[in-house]
């Protein structure tokens, strides 16, 4: 059984990291690229084999745990290096290895002229290793290792061009903001161990089932874990790092900041459905944060001109959808959207990368236009992905997004649905705005620049992802009984909320679909009107409502707000702690005690006379004291 | 009178036989080969050690005693065999080049190393107090000679003489203790019978028994370099050839702890309250004195000598805990210490170069710029000795102090942690010198021989590996200490 060798899945990328990291500098780029992509391909093959084996397991097998070795033992605490194979982890493994593989291949072309080529691939492999650990760990501690690992790699890759100040700043920002989330996550793990005495996922879930719904400790745990998810998955209020993360190479944005790492939070919430379903309050928080983020980020996306920033805000917004789904108890819909989003958003980013590549580094959409003529493959694949994210039938995003809208109304509240639907409208608008500004209309390209289509090593991954963006949603075909293969497959891994909404009439469901399609269509038409029919209109509107426009264009001044209310006070506080407390009190105490010890040291060493007689005397004194104590006690 | 020869299996002392055979072979080859002929003593020694290690693996999970209950055949012994073999093998590897500089790459050096290792094995496996004493002497006499290997060097001579005189002094105490115990038990020296015999007829409260316990603590306390029996350590460690200093710091200490633990846990479980109290005091004194005085040292070997005293203190904490985790941590830490200390001494030999010319800690200034790999390795070993994650030193200390907390000795754990804090000063000073100070002098090339490179690689990787993944070793150690029913 390949399943016994599940550890091979993360091992391959680790080996790739070691080879490229230590020897990559001396290897030709071709070899580095082959190793870097090949190891991910191998992981993907192993995942597929294990997936097939899992399907052939006897019915009723919910999960398989494979222990590789015991990692840490201390008292009652035990953590194993072990893998949990269940539908959820298999879906995540499949998405991560599959999408990573395509992006690695694409990178071979995209990063071809980069001097740090080997460094890039070693980081990317290390990232995949950490991500695979994260999604397949059988305990929270190992999951945390992956969680921190992906954060580290994200830092390294955002700052890949570290000689550029904006890149190294963005990397630091991402790292620091993520630390806030990680701190919450860590506290959550501590509380889990304190409450249940174990960090093993399945043991925790089994023990949690004995707690009543709404129990305080479970609510605390889930809220703390969610703080981690907010940081990692860029939700309000910790989303600010993700748009800046676009400073990294575009394939990195596609892999880490769209398809995989940022979805870790969603995965974690779904993985802990057994806990979240017991904490209605936490679910409300999850849903509210998700819904707010979805619309908030979408509005910002409307007014950005940097093509990657548009996609970044779009990612934040789509992640909000996923959390909204989880928050109303539709975990499977959240994971479903995670998967389809991985396909089309990776495609969008890679497409934008292809555009940037073709324009020699230009990212401003105001200097694009009419690129359809020069890069047809990029255009068509980008268009398919845009249709998918806008939610047009029968593209992948339609199925998953429609499901989330449906559940937010049926299992959630009307307000969730209203927000989500409005956000869907805006999504359709700004995504088509991007298509129109980039590929259609008048060319505004700098005459010095000669756009060209990218090489096949880049366009072939685009085409494969395009196919996935088109058909990827069919595994979750609604309405027909049993056609939602994805739900059937995943449900053993998910603990539903106790009182989920009842069964709804089919006609209602169909009506909802048509409605959401109509919303998307209106959004597309509005974009068409604004950017193709009357290109002056956006400027006119911006001039008409300067204050609102200014706010949105400047991303609601959130970064500035954080700077003024958090960063600056912390700086002032640390300044005081440094000069006031550290220099005087702490250093004083430290230097004082160091002085005492140095003095002691200088005097005690004099005992060491060098005379054997004295040494023997010391021994004798010891004998007398010990004997005296024993006999005289 | 009829004499019956008890039945025995030679394979249960297989590693002993192999080491003895190898040592004798080396002596024979040395005697028979023409003068000046290059002889493969290190290779031969490594071969013997390798075979002994294989035999140890084959013996793993055997239980009981052999040779008329004189020898323990159990995992506790085998774990220590592996530690000794590892320590000796690494010592052999760091020795060759070092000795050639002195023109002392002699057959008897390697033979004596192997004999000393044999003595350690006797100590770890002795089931009868006479066996333990024999082991102690076989080991010690070989080490006395090794410490004085550089006959022309006054310091080496002084080291050997001091060690011999004081060693004999302390051995006498131990032997005296054994005699007392013979009387107190009514004529038995088998460790297995000891506890039961002492429990009978109020022997536990007799001065005879108590005196025996006191003398055992003195005898073993000397070998592990516990305060106040430690005073020979800095002089001997400084004067002895560097490779032997390394060997003494890891092997001799580990062997003495093995026998110490066996005697305390098997013979004196009923007096636990008393010996725990004494060892508590000794542990605190040993840790504190070792760490505090190490700060004032400027000779790297002397600094490591005090560091070794401090580590004896940490290991005594593990004995004080006297629970399963304590015993496990003892085993874990001794292996970890073997790796990190031998690694550090490997660097000392490399930096010291021709005839130990550079032994001041200031010779390490700027090493990070001139020899990045060497400095990185040294920094790693210093971090490990200071107990900073993710090294084995951290995990080992973590186990030891949690054992103490588990046993209720919270203050001991706190003192231990405070001591670790003090130790950070002198370990990190080396790192600071290496990376933040300009080079004092041009260090010139360092002779990275394959053997020394191997040592640095094995120890560095080992320190990290068992530091990040302690689980495997932990389980082995748990398996090894199951023989102590009183824990």
Query: Do the beta carbons of residue B64 and residue B118 sit within 8 Å?
Result: no
Q: pLDDT higher for B334 or A471?
A: B334
Confidence of residue A481 (pLDDT cuts 50, 70, 90): low
Residue A621 vs residues A376, A628, B162, B231, B320: alpha-carbon distances, Å: 93, 10, 18, 13, 22
CA–CA distance, B143 with B286 (Å, rounded to integer) = 23
B-chain residues near A601 (CB < 8 A): 292-296
Tokens 């496996």 locate to B125
DSSP string, A277-289: TT-HHHHHHHHHH
Interchain CB distance below 8 Å, A623 and B289: no
CA–CA distance, B107 with A169 (Å, rounded to integer) = 62
B-chain residues near A615 (CB < 8 A): 162, 166, 231-232
For an interface test with A, give the residue of B402, B471, B477 to mutate (most A CBs within 10 A). Answer: B471
By 3-state DSSP, what share of chain B in percent is helix, strand and coil, each rounded to 5? 80, 0, 20
Residue B363 confidence (pLDDT):
87
Quickly count: other Cβ atoms within 10 Å of residue B434's Cβ. Answer: 26
CA–CA distance, B19 with B111 (Å, rounded to integer) = 9
Query: Do the beta carbons of residue B194 and residue B181 sit within 8 Å?
Result: yes
The CB-based long-range contact list for A81-85 (8 Å cut-off, 24+ gap) reads: A81/A7, A81/A142, A81/B469, A81/B471, A82/A137, A82/A138, A82/A139, A82/A142, A83/A6, A83/A7, A83/A136, A83/A137, A83/A138, A84/A136, A84/A137, A84/A138, A84/A201, A84/A202, A85/A3, A85/A6, A85/A50, A85/A54, A85/A136
B-chain residues near A604 (CB < 8 A): 289, 292-293, 296
Residue A109 vs residues A123, A153, A455, B153, B476: alpha-carbon distances, Å: 17, 21, 7, 66, 49
CA–CA distance, A375 with A438 (Å, rounded to integer) = 11
Lowest mean pLDDT among A377-386, A494-503, B60-69: A494-503
Angle, CA A502 vertex, CA A484 and CA A265 arms, to 5°: 60
pLDDT of A391 above 80: yes
Taking the CA atoms of chain A, what radius of gyration do you get in angstroms?
28
Average pLDDT over residues A351-378: 84
Residue A582 confidence (pLDDT):
77
Q: pLDDT > 70: what percent of chain A?
A: 98
CA–CA distance, A483 with A353 (Å, rounded to integer) = 36
pLDDT of A560 above 70: yes
A-chain residues near B238 (CB < 8 A): none
Interchain CB distance below 8 Å, B234 and A627: no
Interchain CB distance below 8 Å, B235 and A610: yes
Least Cα distance to A335 among A491, A482, A150, A139 occurs for A491
Tokens 């460094």 locate to A119
pLDDT of A569 above 90: no
Q: What does the pLDDT look like over A84-127, one tens digit per residue?
A: 888 889 999 999 999 999 999 999 888 888 888 888 999 999 99
Interchain CB distance below 8 Å, B472 and A70: yes
Question: Six-digit token pair at B140?
Answer: 């010690």
A-chain residues near B398 (CB < 8 A): 74
Query: Do the beta carbons of residue B335 and residue B85 sit within 8 Å?
Result: no
For chain A, say whether B177 makes contact (Cβ under 8 Å): no
Residue B480 confidence (pLDDT):
93
Taking the CA atoms of chain B, what radius of gyration do you get in angstroms?
22
Nearest CA in chain A to B466: A71
B289–chain A nearest CA distance, Å = 8
- Residue B131 in 3-state DSSP? helix
Residue B319 confidence (pLDDT):
95
Residue B1 confidence (pLDDT):
62
B130–chain A nearest CA distance, Å = 22
Interchain CB distance below 8 Å, B217 and A626: yes
Average pLDDT over residues A545-562: 77
For chain A, say whether B214 makes contact (Cβ under 8 Å): yes
Q: Residue B218: CA atoms inside 13 Å, Cβ hemisphere, count? A: 32
Query: Do the beta carbons of residue B382 and residue B435 sit within 8 Å?
Result: no
pLDDT of A466 above 60: yes
From first to last of the 487 residues of chain B, give the pLDDT tens digit: 677 777 888 888 999 999 999 999 999 998 888 776 667 899 999 999 999 999 999 999 999 888 888 999 999 999 999 999 999 999 999 998 888 888 887 889 999 999 999 999 999 999 999 999 999 999 999 999 999 998 888 889 999 999 999 999 999 999 999 999 998 888 889 999 888 888 886 777 788 899 999 999 999 999 999 988 999 999 999 999 999 999 999 999 999 999 999 999 999 998 999 999 999 999 999 999 999 999 888 899 999 999 999 999 999 999 999 999 999 999 999 999 999 999 999 999 998 877 777 888 888 888 888 888 899 999 999 999 999 988 999 999 999 999 999 999 999 999 999 999 889 989 999 999 999 888 876 667 777 888 999 999 999 999 999 998 888 899 999 999 999 887 7
Question: Six-digit token pair at A339?
Answer: 């998967």
Residue A627 sits at φ, ψ, to 5 deg, of -60, -45
Average pLDDT over residues A378-393: 89
Answer left, alpha or beta for residue B231, where phi above 0 means left and psi between -120 and 50 means alpha: alpha
Least Cα distance to A339 among A398, A400, A290, A427 occurs for A400
pLDDT of A483 above 70: no
Query: Do the beta carbons of residue B371 and residue B453 sit within 8 Å?
Result: no
Confidence of residue A500 (pLDDT cuts 50, 70, 90): low
For chain A, say whether B274 makes contact (Cβ under 8 Å): yes
Least Cα distance to A408 among A508, A503, A287, A234 occurs for A287
Average pLDDT over residues A598-611: 80
- Window 420-439 of B, Cβ < 8 Å to A: 422, 425
In total, the C-beta contacts within 8 angstroms joining chain A to chain B are: 105
Least Cα distance to A80 among A88, A89, A68, A70 occurs for A70
């Amino acid at each position: 059984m390949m399943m016994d060798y599940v550890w091979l899945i993360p091992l391959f990328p680790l080996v790739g990291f070691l080879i490229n990291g230590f020897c990559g500098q001396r290897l030709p780029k071709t070899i580095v690229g082959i190793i870097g992509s090949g190891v991910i391909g191998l992981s993907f093959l192993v995942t597929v084999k294990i997936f097939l084996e899992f399907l052939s397991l006897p019915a009723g097998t919910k999960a398989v745990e494979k222990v590789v070795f015991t990692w840490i033992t201390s008292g009652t605490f035990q953590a194993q290096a072990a893998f949990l194979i269940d539908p959820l982890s298999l879906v995540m493994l499949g998405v991560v290895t599959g999408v990573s593989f395509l992006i690695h291949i694409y990178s071979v072309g995209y990063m071809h002229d980069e001097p740090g080529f080997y460094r890039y691939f070693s980081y990317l492999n290390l990232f995949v290793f950490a991500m695979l650990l994260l999604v397949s760990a059988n305990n929270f501690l190992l999951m945390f290792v992956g969680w921190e690992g992906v954060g580290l790699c994200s830092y390294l890759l955002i700052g890949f061009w570290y000689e550029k100040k904006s890149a190294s700043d963005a990397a630091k920002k991402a790292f620091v903001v993520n630390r806030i989330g990680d701190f919450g996550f860590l506290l959550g793990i501590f509380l889990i161990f304190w409450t249940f005495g174990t960090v093993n996922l399945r043991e925790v879930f089994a023990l949690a089932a004995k707690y009543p719904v709404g129990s305080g400790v479970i609510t605390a745990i889930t809220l703390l874990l969610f703080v981690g998810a907010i940081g990692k998955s860029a939700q309000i209020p910790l989303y600010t790092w993700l748009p800046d993360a676009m400073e990294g190479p575009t394939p990195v944005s596609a892999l880490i900041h769209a398809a995989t790492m940022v979805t870790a939070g969603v995965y974690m919430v779904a993985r802990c459905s057994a806990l979240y379903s017991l904490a209605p309050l936490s679910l409300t928080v999850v849903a509210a944060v998700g819904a707010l983020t979805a619309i908030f980020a979408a509005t910002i996306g409307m007014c950005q001109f940097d093509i990657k920033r548009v996609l970044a805000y779009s990612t934040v917004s789509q992640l909000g959808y996923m959390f909204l789904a989880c928050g109303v108890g539709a975990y499977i819909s959240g994971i479903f959207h995670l998967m389809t989003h991985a396909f089309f958003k990776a495609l969008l980013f890679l497409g934008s990368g292809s555009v940037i590549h073709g324009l020699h580094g230009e990212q401003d959409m105001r200097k694009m236009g009419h690129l359809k003529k020069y890069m047809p493959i990029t255009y068509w694949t980008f268009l398919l992905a845009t249709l998918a994210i806008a939610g047009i039938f029968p593209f992948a995003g339609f199925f998953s997004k429609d499901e989330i809208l449906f559940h937010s109304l049926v299992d959630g509240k009307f307000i969730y649905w209203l927000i989500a639907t409005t956000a869907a409208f805006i999504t359709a608008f700004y995504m088509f705005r991007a298509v129109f500004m980039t590929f259609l209309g008048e060319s505004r390209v700098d005459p010095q620049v000669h756009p060209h289509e990218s090489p096949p090593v880049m366009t072939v991954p685009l085409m494969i992802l395009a196919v996935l963006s088109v058909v990827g949603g069919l595994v979750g075909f609604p309405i027909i009984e049993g056609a939602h293969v994805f739900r059937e497959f995943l449900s053993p891994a998910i603990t539903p909320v106790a009182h989920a909404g009842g069964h709804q009439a089919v006609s209602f469901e169909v009506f909802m679909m048509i409605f959401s399609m109509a919303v998307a269509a209106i959004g597309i038409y509005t974009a068409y009107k604004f950017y193709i029919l009357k290109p002056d209109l956006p400027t006119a509107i911006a001039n008409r409502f300067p204050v609102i426009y200014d706010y949105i264009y400047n991303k609601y001044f959130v970064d500035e707000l954080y700077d003024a209310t958090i960063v600056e006070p912390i700086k002032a506080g640390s300044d005081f702690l440094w000069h006031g407390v550290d220099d005087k009190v702490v250093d004083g105490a430290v230097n004082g005690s160091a002085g005492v010890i140095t003095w002691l040291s200088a005097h005690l060493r004099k005992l060491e006379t060098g005379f054997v007689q004295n040494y023997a005397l010391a021994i004798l004194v010891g004998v007398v004291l010990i004997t005296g104590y024993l006999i005289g006690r | 009178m009829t004499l019956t020869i008890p039945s025995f299996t030679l394979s249960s002392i297989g590693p002993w036989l192999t080491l003895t055979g190898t040592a004798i072979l080396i002596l024979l080859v040395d005697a028979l080969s023409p003068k000046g002929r290059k002889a493969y003593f290190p290779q031969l020694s490594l071969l013997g050690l390798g075979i002994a290690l294989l035999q140890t693996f084959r013996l793993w999970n055997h239980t009981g005693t052999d040779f008329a209950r004189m020898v323990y055949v159990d995992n506790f012994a085998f774990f220590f065999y592996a530690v000794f073999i590892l320590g000796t093998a690494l010592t052999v590897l760091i020795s060759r080049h070092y000795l050639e500089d002195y023109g002392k790459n002699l057959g008897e050096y390697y033979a004596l190393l192997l004999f000393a290792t044999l003595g350690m094995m006797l100590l770890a496996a002795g089931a009868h107090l006479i066996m333990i004493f024999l082991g102690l002497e076989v080991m010690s006499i070989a080490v006395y000679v090794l410490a004085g290997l550089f006959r022309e060097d006054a310091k080496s001579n002084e080291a050997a003489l001091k060690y011999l005189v004081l060693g004999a002094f302390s051995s006498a105490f131990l032997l005296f203790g054994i005699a007392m115990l013979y009387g107190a038990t009514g004529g038995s020296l088998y460790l297995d019978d000891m506890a039961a015999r002492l429990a009978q007829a109020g022997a536990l409260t007799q001065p005879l028994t108590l005196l025996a316990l006191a003398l055992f603590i003195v005898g073993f306390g000397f070998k592990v370099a516990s305060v106040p029996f430690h005073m020979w350590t800095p002089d001997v460690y400084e004067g002895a050839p560097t490779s032997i200093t390394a060997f003494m710091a890891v092997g001799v200490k580990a062997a003495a702890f093995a026998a110490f633990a066996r005697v305390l846990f098997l013979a004196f479980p009923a007096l636990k309250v008393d010996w725990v109290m004494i060892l508590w005091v000794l542990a605190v004194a040993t840790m504190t004195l070792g760490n505090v005085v190490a700060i004032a040292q400027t000779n790297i070997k002397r600094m490591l000598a005090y560091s070794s005293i401090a580590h004896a203190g940490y290991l005594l904490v593990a004995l004080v805990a006297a629970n399963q985790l304590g015993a496990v941590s003892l085993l874990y830490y001794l292996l970890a210490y073997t790796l990190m200390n031998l690694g550090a001494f490997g660097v000392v030999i490399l930096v010291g170069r021709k005839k130990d010319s550079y032994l001041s800690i200031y010779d390490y200034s700027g090493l990070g710029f001139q020899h990045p790999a060497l400095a990185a390795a040294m920094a790693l070993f210093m971090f490990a000795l200071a107990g900073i994650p993710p090294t084995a030193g951290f995990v080992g200390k973590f186990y030891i102090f949690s054992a103490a907390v588990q046993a209720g000795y919270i203050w001991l754990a706190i003192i231990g942690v405070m001591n670790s804090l003090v130790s950070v000063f002198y370990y990190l000073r080396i790192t600071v010198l290496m990376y933040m100070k300009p080079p004092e002098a041009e260090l010139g090339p360092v002779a990275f021989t394959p053997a020394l490179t191997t040592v640095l690689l094995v120890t560095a990787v080992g320190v990290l590996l068992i530091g990040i993944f302690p689980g495997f070793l932990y389980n082995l150690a748990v398996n090894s200490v199951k023989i102590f029913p009183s824990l």
